[in-house]
């Protein structure tokens, strides 16, 4: 059974803990290390690794401290180059080449964001659970079978964004970047409809925009579409 803990999920910082009861992992380290230590009762050595999606600070802010703690940090070669830190615990992994960490088999896959080489991750454990983690992408080109847990960005709604642009609350130039870098509610729906959700137990909607989202609306819409338990951290 997979247990998910979200410490932070926004443009201010992203950090999650997942465990299957055997191997705890960090997903992202985009908050202060002190905040992480406090939240995890200073038991940082529990983590077998940290998976980093890309080089933006809200996803890798604390990476130097995480590395110093002795935690391997996995990422794409492009992300490693963009972060620009030389360390033996930075592990550059090729896209679509699975690797093992503890009880997990992890498959990195390419996503679409305005950075060097962003990754999403498909994680499978020995009990048959499968978790999809994808954030900061405007599109996912792949379909996945047998998913039990989904953690996916749902940053904005195109309707809310258009309303905010018309009212002047959101600058018009933001629209082009959002359309080419972040997952909208509308695209999340299409992604979920394209995938087999029969085994899915939980859906986590991540990285909601401060101004162009509506937490309750997003939660209700995805729950209505899928019939699954939906969390918005």
Give every CB contact of residue 168 below 8 A, 6+ residues apart in sequence: none
Whole-angstrom distance, CA of residue 36 vs CA of residue 15: 8
Q: What is the pLDDT of residue 110?
A: 97
Q: Which pLDDT belongs to residue 28? A: 98
pTM, to two decimals: 0.95
* pLDDT for residue 188: 97
Please tell me the total count of domains within the chain: 1
pLDDT of residue 171: 86
pLDDT at 84: 93
> Containing domain of residue 20, as a range?
3-231
Alpha-carbon distances, residue 58 vs 46, 54, 71 (angstroms): 22, 9, 19
- Going residue by residue through the chain (233 aa), what tens digit of pLDDT does each one get? 899 999 999 989 999 999 999 999 999 999 999 999 999 999 999 999 999 999 998 999 999 999 999 999 999 999 999 999 999 999 999 999 999 999 999 999 999 888 889 999 999 999 999 999 999 899 999 999 999 999 999 999 999 999 998 898 888 888 877 777 889 999 999 999 999 999 999 999 999 999 999 999 999 999 999 999 999 99
Q: Read off the CATH number of the domain in which 213 is found.
A: 3.60.15.10
pLDDT at residue 177, rounded to an integer:
77
- The candidate with the shortest Cα–Cα distance to 8, out of 158, 157, 210, 191, is 210
């Amino acid at each position: 059974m997979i247990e998910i803990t979200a410490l932070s999920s926004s443009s201010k910082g992203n950090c999650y803990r997942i465990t299957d009861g055997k191997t705890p992992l960090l997903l992202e380290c985009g908050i202060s290390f002190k905040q992480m230590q406090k939240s995890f009762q200073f038991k940082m050595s529990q983590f077998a690794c940290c998976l980093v999606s890309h080089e933006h600070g809200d996803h890798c802010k604390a990476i130097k401290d995480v590395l110093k703690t002795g935690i391997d940090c996995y990422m794409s070669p492009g992300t490693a180059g963009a972060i620009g830190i030389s360390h033996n615990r930075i592990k550059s992994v090729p896209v679509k080449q699975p690797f093992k960490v503890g009880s997990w088999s992890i498959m990195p896959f390419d996503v679409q964001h305005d950075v060097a080489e962003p990754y999403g991750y498909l994680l499978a454990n020995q009990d048959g659970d499968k978790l999809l983690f994808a954030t900061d992408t405007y599109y996912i080109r792949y379909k996945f079978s047998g998913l039990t847990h989904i953690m996916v960005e749902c940053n904005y709604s195109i309707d809310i964004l258009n309303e905010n642009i018309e009212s002047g609350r959101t600058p018009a130039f933001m629209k082009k970047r959002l359309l080419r870098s972040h997952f909208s509610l509308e695209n999340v729906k299409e992604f979920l409809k394209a995938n087999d959700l029969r085994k899915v137990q939980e859906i986590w909607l991540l990285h909601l925009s401060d101004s162009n989202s509506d937490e309750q609306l997003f939660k209700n819409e995805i729950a209505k579409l899928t019939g699954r338990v939906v969390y918005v951290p």
